[in-house]
């Protein structure tokens, strides 16, 4: 059986990468893990699991577009059907995003469309919100604005700090990201316009019960 080929992009410790690897999904093959930082901890875990790794340092390029063009060439060598951003801390150009339209996904630590951008846990605590969570979404030109595939909610407790809340959200990230990728590999997940379909049914979020 031909496996579903994916490429994963990381910048740091790679905890979501580890969750995807540890899921041991029989339908997918991680063709490569690519990082813009040579010291990214996730690279070591990929190597330990006999997955090809590459480093493309963004500091070696004069512009964001030049880096994105080089990254695109690097990715396309592996002919992936899905590009998975797992803590990849780069804002990607419109040209790059459009090249991989409908086959590039990201995970974000909030219940989108609320709390886009950085420091979500801090902002949630400051806002005294009672529900927080994580979202897997298609990547679009606008930051953290692509159609949501799956979300998971967690409660915010009165004694939470950023670390305790982040850990609770991260635990859910590790659950829902492999799930979203599995749906892709099964061919069950489709993006039509700005709506996401699972088994030809529009996905309504939050949908952590799937």
In the annotation, is 58 catalytic?
A: no
Which residues does 154 contact at the CB level (< 8 Å), separation at least 6? 131, 132, 133, 165, 168, 169, 172
Angle (deg, nearest 10), helices 15-22 and 162-186: 40
Q: Which of 58, 99, 108, 182 is catalytic?
A: 108
Angle (deg, nearest 10), helices 120-127 and 162-186: 120
**């953290």: which residue's tokens?**
144
Active site residues: 108
């Amino acid at each position: 059986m031909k496996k579903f080929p994916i490429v994963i992009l990381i910048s740091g410790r790679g905890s979501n990468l580890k969750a995807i690897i540890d899921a041991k999904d029989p339908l997918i093959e991680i063709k490569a893990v690519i990082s813009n930082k040579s010291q990214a901890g996730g690279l070591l875990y990929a190597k330990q699991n006999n997955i090809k790794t590459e480093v493309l340092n963004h500091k070696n390029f004069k512009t964001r577009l030049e880096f994105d063009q080089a990254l695109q060439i690097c990715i396309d060598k592996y002919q992936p059907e899905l590009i998975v951003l797992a803590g990849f801390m780069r804002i990607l150009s419109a040209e790059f995003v459009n090249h991989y339209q409908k086959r590039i996904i990201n995970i974000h630590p909030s219940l989108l469309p609320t709390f886009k951008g950085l420091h979500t846990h801090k902002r949630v605590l400051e806002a005294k919100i009672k529900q927080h969570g994580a979202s897997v979404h298609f990547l679009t030109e606008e930051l953290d604005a692509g159609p949501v595939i799956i979300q998971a909610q967690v409660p915010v407790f009165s004694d939470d700090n950023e670390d305790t809340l982040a850990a609770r959200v991260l635990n859910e990230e590790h659950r829902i990201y492999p799930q979203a990728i599995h749906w892709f590999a099964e061919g069950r997940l489709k993006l039509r316009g700005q709506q996401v379909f699972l088994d030809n049914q529009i996905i309504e979020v939050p949908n952590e019960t799937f």
